[in-house]
Structure 1
């Protein structure tokens, strides 16, 4: 099994040379070759938080698949909830799943099927590659609807779609000083409610708004240092 840590920093450059919709495919294929993997997949978390969608697959047989997998009770839910790398032996090889997360924003999962049990050095590289993948998805999401489409298992109403455009780009933010997370429910059919946040050097500002009913004023959550 191969894998040189010095090669991982080249992943963002490789993704940048590809079309935005193909950036994750390029990363998956690079990792497949790097780790001699049978298959490498990227799964994105659905907007509802109830499923993941397999958006990209690099396989030795050039296999590609698009599927949505229920999250509750699955190993994918465990990895997202614990934010820890998961490894198990299967009849097809060693299955490794790593969270793709940026500052607490759970974007998705990186799944690899390896021919043999990986060492700690390879597992560390898989975790680092998943971290790089998070930045690749965030950067390329500005130029393609692929990731937006992947998050929608059910088409949202027009009002809900407009409302999501008013939300912060990341619904979660994790730092050494605080952790913040918000969501709108039900995800496919909503209007009016909104929240936002902004971080200064020493203050976290949070606002929650309900224009259809009582209005909640903006709140400045003191100093967070």
Structure 2
């Protein structure tokens, strides 16, 4: 990122020289000096995904009983900005004009930057806020490696040991926009953690995906999930095939003993032509939306990892086409109370949503159908295939859950 008159080069240099916990303060000073901005804060989505937490230049100001105070996300301006990825400008008031801009890196919505400008209608200042928000995304992605501030700040509810383990097994970014595809995951934990995980990784010519569901609840399931995910990642990083990855996860659970079992689905996508390989280890079949129609992918299910079987894991083929949306899911999305949610209809209704928002919306619908209390984790991994050389499309304003005010 180069300096284009808004002082962004100096901003990034100042951020590199400041302590990692001072990211918001550095950006605030930049906007104050450049545009006379005031009341500057960064708001990010909490771990549950239903509230945003305000972080001002003085971290920890919005606390209550040792936890951050959340602001309901649904129907708010912040929800609109996160969904559409476009800035929102309020009506001028005596004290200035409120601006809310998205803070996003490669499709990963970190939150929003809220700023008050003294002069409404100043296009240069508005662009400067948007550029600063974009820079803040890069700064936070770097700084959160060195501090628990963003982890701690997003905890509006207590986090159990099992939830802590589960959270650390997930990718550091729940969404990635890249050449040819968008992938996004969402996990809503049960009241007693159910051992779900999702994962993805990008190579030069291959996209790797996985979704798993460990047997049991709480720490027992979290530890089984750790074994499975660790084995899968180790095999993947060693360059082993998708079937070899499945074997490594299976062997890890067998060696653990005591009837340990984890269902899973592994997928490799060739980024050149969209051809995919899938291994299904006792897992629910994915849903494929193509040309507005939704069908289950007819996969043969092998036994779960950890269950002895005379039949080897086999990679099954799927040819993705531009415009396809594939939804990988765990059985928590289909448990008795969640079954009243028509997932194919939700996919069709949410086809205009970005994959990130579709995943969040679908899991939210399941949570609502269960009265806010899940008996099993509800997890999805949403893959949009755009085709080689095509970028992700933005969300649309007429998508489900959009604000009407």
TM-score after normalising by structure 1: 0.89
Say if 1:97 and 1:192 are closer, same or farther in 2 by CA, change over 3 A: same
Counterpart of 1:121 (choices 117, 121, 124) is 124
1:160-184 CA-partner distances (Å, limit 9, x unpaired) = 1111111111111112311110021
Alignment of 1:80-99 (within 5 A): 80-91=82-93, 92-99=95-102
Distance in 2, Cα, partners of 1:181 & 1:49: 14
1:61 equivalent in structure 2: none
For 1:40 and 1:8, the matched residues in 2 are separated by 17
Q: 1:189–1:79: structure 2 CA closer, same or farther, 3 Å change rule?
A: farther
2:183 maps to 180
**Correspondence for 1:30:** 30
Q: CA RMSD of the aligned region, Å?
A: 2.0
Distance 1:115 1:215 in 2: 56
2:95 is the alignment partner of 1:47: no
| Mapped partners of 2:75, 2:14: distance in 1 | 35
Cα distance per residue 1:47-106 (max 9 Å; x no partner): 111111111148xxxxx9425211111111111111100001243211111000111111
Match of 2:173 among 170, 173, 176: 170
- Look up the match of 2:265: 217
Q: CA shift at 1:211, angstroms?
A: 2.1
Q: Please state how far the C-alpha of 1:222 moved relative to its aligned partner.
A: 3.2
SS at match of 1:121: helix
- Asked if residue 14 in structure 1 is aligned to residue 19 in structure 2, the reply is no
Of 69, 72, 76, the match for 1:70: 72
8 Å CA contact 1:5, 1:125 repeated in 2: no
Task: Report SS of the residue matched to 2:187.
Answer: coil
CA contact 1:80–1:106 (8 Å) conserved in 2: yes
Question: Is 1:206 matched up with 2:221?
Answer: no
> CA separation in 2, counterparts of 1:85 and 1:176?
24
> 2:190 and 2:78 mapped to 1: Cα distance?
20
Partners of 1:43 and 1:5 in 2: CA distance? 26
Gap change, CA 1:169 and 1:188, over 3 Å in 2: farther
On the 8 A contact 1:56/1:65 being kept in 2, the answer is yes
Using the alignment, how far apart are the partners of 1:102 and 1:117 within structure 2?
Answer: 27
**Match for residue 398 of structure 2?**
none
2:145 maps to: 142
For structure 1, the residue ranges without an aligned partner over 5 or more in a row are: 59-63
The offset of 1:189, in angstroms, is 5.1
The alpha carbon displacement at 1:137 in A equals 0.9
